[in-house]
A and B are shown apart, each in its own frame.
Chain A
């Protein structure tokens, strides 16, 4: 019984950071970022590569790239992605460009930091071995979520950010520096995705197509959880992880299908998401 918690845990860690990043980017710039999976893959590739070069500590270095990457991404979307339809072309083009760069720089093999992570050992929970790296990943995700929640709710800058996401024009009228907040939030969104990818490199392999593969899951999580709150996204990620893992154990044919059936059910019954705070047009 406990054995099923282990894959649920890792899937949750993968999903929550990725989806939260997507939600933050959408909330701040109203851009549906089709290239978001590519940032996840970027984190994974860089973490695996640096773990290979300097050991497991290298995984912690990888998210640093997200700071310049996030700022560059902000200017990219400001310049080329303002209309709803232009967004699609530009972010899809960015996805292709990043996948192409990965192929060019990293080649077509599989990258992972799981060998270095295995050196940490495992602890026994009942009759199940729980690798320490999984716990480390979970701890990182929990700290990131907690830190983000603290930032949003307890700091002045976070208050501006919340106001900005809720209603941009009124926030600007009240004197919030819209440009600064937006750059900050977009970079934060990219950072979360890259962090998610870096952490997941401890158990996941990165190769071609990972960027495109994870994106629908992120979409599914933010549709189910709603775009309003961090805890909504975290809870939705937990729901998706549990659902998918249980289905894989019980009825594997439905593995790819069950998630999207749930998304459709949510869209039909509670389109704002299961954990929406208030009715707000997105």
Chain B
């Protein structure tokens, strides 16, 4: 069903439609990262930093090493995301609730601060230009990037489905429902959270790299806390709809909403009101809570 939707979007959209669909699919990966952590009951307000890590990995590889190869770029993005993820996941693995959210927000703002202030290294608030990547010597255009994003998001879907059924996913649910009981049953929450954060970091960084290739520029705003806020909102909308497909639905809803709102004088007002409407409708129809 996913393949059908992805193919339909490719043929039905014009060139802008393909670009936008590619952006949604690429952006759905950090939403997936947030959703995986939500399975643990952890609301992570800093996923944007993994997204930015992936984007900057690709950008700085080009800037300092002239490297444009697609596979090298994606691999190094995922590696940086995973490395950052496992270290932060372990360090912050004991925190829960409000403190977890704020700690991740703080670190993502540290990353933002470094990206902005150390401008001789990172290009500062001007950002870094990223050319289209090369695969087997040919520069990729938006259409090819769309398929790469579609394949990545499809892989993300498979990962989410298998995660939920796997031991990791069951322990996640256990930690969310009753952490003491999960620990008593033999799970080490900190290690599980670290592993999940590594996975999330890699996925979000992959999304960051794809968005960097698609939009040709990376800026420190990729790591700002409101970027994480958007990811959390999209993940929550998606989670209310479906556990496996949620990240795709949430990403699509949020980005299409954002696009639609630009025609108005005050886009933020429109997005905010629409989010409110969604929250109110879901609350009326379902009294289901996620915690």
Q: Which residues of A approach B to under 8 Å, CB–CB?
A: 26, 32, 34, 80, 83-86, 88-90, 92-101, 103-104, 212, 215-216, 219-220, 223, 252-257, 260-261, 263-264, 267-268, 271, 282
Contact = CB atoms under 8 A, between A and B. Distances in A.
A69 B98 CA distance: 25
Interface of B: 38, 43, 91, 95, 97-99, 101-103, 105-107, 109-110, 112-114, 116-118, 224-226, 229, 232-233, 236-237, 239, 265-273, 275-276, 278-280, 283, 289-291
Contact of B106 (A32, A90, A215, A260): A260
Nearest to B265: A104
A100 B110 contact: no
A79 B110 CA distance: 35
A267 B237 CA distance: 30
Contacts of A95: 272
A223 B233 contact: no
Contacts of A220: 106
Main secondary structure of the interface of B (DSSP, over half): helix
A100 B272 contact: yes
B291 A104 contact: no
B283 A86 contact: yes
B241 to A, nearest CB: 13
Contacts of A257: 110, 113-114, 117
Contacts of A89: 233, 236-237, 275, 278-279
A89 B114 CA distance: 28
Contacts of B91: 268
B272 A97 contact: yes
11 contacts: A83-B289, A85-B43, A88-B43, A89-B279, A92-B272, A96-B272, A97-B268, A100-B266, A100-B271, A212-B225, A263-B102
A97 B106 contact: no
A96 B271 contact: yes
A110 B206 CA distance: 38
Nearest to B114: A257
Contacts of B229: 34, 88, 92
A32 B270 contact: no
Contacts of A216: 105-106, 109, 225
Contact of B118 (A85, A104, A253): A253
A32 B269 contact: no
Contacts of B266: 100-101, 103-104
A220 B272 CA distance: 25
**Most chain B beta-carbon neighbours within 10 Å: one of A86, A89, A253, A254:** A89
Given A256-B112, A257-B110, A267-B99, A100 B269 contact: yes
Residue among A26, A104, A260, A263 with most chain B CB within 10 A:
A260
Contacts of B290: 83, 85
Contacts of B276: 80, 90, 93-94, 97
B236 A85 contact: yes
Contacts of A264: 103, 106-107, 110
Given A90-B276, A93-B279, A223-B102, A100 B268 contact: yes
A83 B239 CA distance: 14
Contacts of B273: 93, 97, 100
Nearest to A103: B266
Given A83-B291, A101-B266, A253-B117, A92 B233 contact: yes
A220 B106 CA distance: 8
B110 A260 contact: yes
Contacts of A90: 276, 279
Nearest to B226: A212
Nearest to A76: B276
Given A90-B276, A96-B275, A100-B266, A256 B113 contact: yes
Contacts of A215: 225
Contact of A86 (B109, B112, B226, B279): B279
A26 B271 CA distance: 25
Contact of B101 (A32, A93, A104, A254): A32
Given A86-B283, A90-B279, A260 B272 contact: no
Contacts of B43: 84-85, 88
Contacts of B237: 89
A36 to B, nearest CB: 13
A271 B95 contact: yes
Nearest to B106: A260
A104 B275 contact: no
Nearest to A219: B102
A93 B279 CA distance: 9
B82 to A, nearest CB: 21
Contacts of B99: 223, 267, 271, 282
Contacts of B224: 212
Nearest to B118: A253
